[in-house]
Amino acid sequence: MSSPILPIPQAARQARLDALRGAAVVWMAGFHFAFDLNHFGWIRQDFYRDPVWTGQRTVIVSLFLLCAGMGQALALQQGLSWPRFWRRWAQVAGCALAVSLGSWLMYPRSFISFGVLHGMAVMLLVLRLAGPRLSNRWVLVLGAVALLLPCLLAHPWFDSRWTNWLGLVTRKPVTEDYVPLLPWLGVMLWGFALARWLLASRPGVLAGGLPRFLHPLAVLGRWSLSFYMLHQPVLIGLLTLAATMRA
């Protein structure tokens, strides 16, 4: 018997997108749990060079930015006002600052100056301003340009902490998370274009029902920012407690 499909009301048209974001959240939490186990010395893995881990990180970040781009297309279609946008943007930017402070306390030599939330804050502004003015063809072209520019215009001048946020670096900076404007803006632009195309040509893909077993993922996806901010302190606290009891 197939899983029951629950109807999604008009106000919750993003349920399928929320579930996709929720899946990325679960994957991220598992990744960070393994990272924390490595930090405490309970496993030995190279999270900075091993393709098994660097590849997972790339996919996870791509999923988050793809979902963010799709979410912006949905928000614009639903007439999201500038005041509501600024409130949400302020939450993302504020959490980015909190991540920088928290990572500086824990990793003073490799703290996060421009991680995924910092990148999203800048990219959301770019997309909000430029997205409605561009056709989908131009969004796709600019997305491809954003993906290619770091390979074509990398220069040592961009290697400093004050300029590496652009992404045109010749070497990856020493930091615990790094999601610069380029090439990652390209992923968000493609998510924006994908959602706009789906809304125009295949609206049922985003607006359809959701199997009951995926509802927890959708709920998690709707609270992804809160989960992102809380999961690492909780994981680190639990592992610290476990290490104390183990000693």
Q: Total domain count for the chain?
A: 1
Closest C-alpha among 4, 13, 2, 11 to residue 204: 13
Residue 89 clears pLDDT 80, i.e. is over it: yes
Paired residues of 5 in beta bridges: 211
Residue 10 clears pLDDT 50, i.e. is over it: no
Q: Given this model, what pLDDT does residue 2 score?
A: 34
Tell me the pLDDT of the chain averaged across its residues. Answer: 92
Residue 246 within any structural domain of the chain: no
Residue 113 within any structural domain of the chain: yes
Residue 3 within any structural domain of the chain: no
Residue 169 within any structural domain of the chain: yes
Residue 165 clears pLDDT 70, i.e. is over it: yes
| 62/67 Cα distance (integer angstroms) | 8
Residue 64 within any structural domain of the chain: yes
**How many helical (H) and strand (E) elements, i.e. helices and strands, does the chain have?**
9, 2
Residue 244 within any structural domain of the chain: no
Q: Given this model, what pLDDT does residue 12 score?
A: 44
Residue 227 clears pLDDT 90, i.e. is over it: yes
Q: Given this model, what pLDDT does residue 3 score?
A: 36
Residue 7 within any structural domain of the chain: no
Amino acid 163 reads T
Residue 11 neighbours by CB distance under 10 Å:
7
Q: Is the pTM of this model over 0.85?
A: yes
Across the range 123-129, mean pLDDT stands at 96
Its domain, for residue 214, covers 13-236
pLDDT band at 247 (very low <50, low <70, confident <90, very high): low
Across the range 56-60, mean pLDDT stands at 97
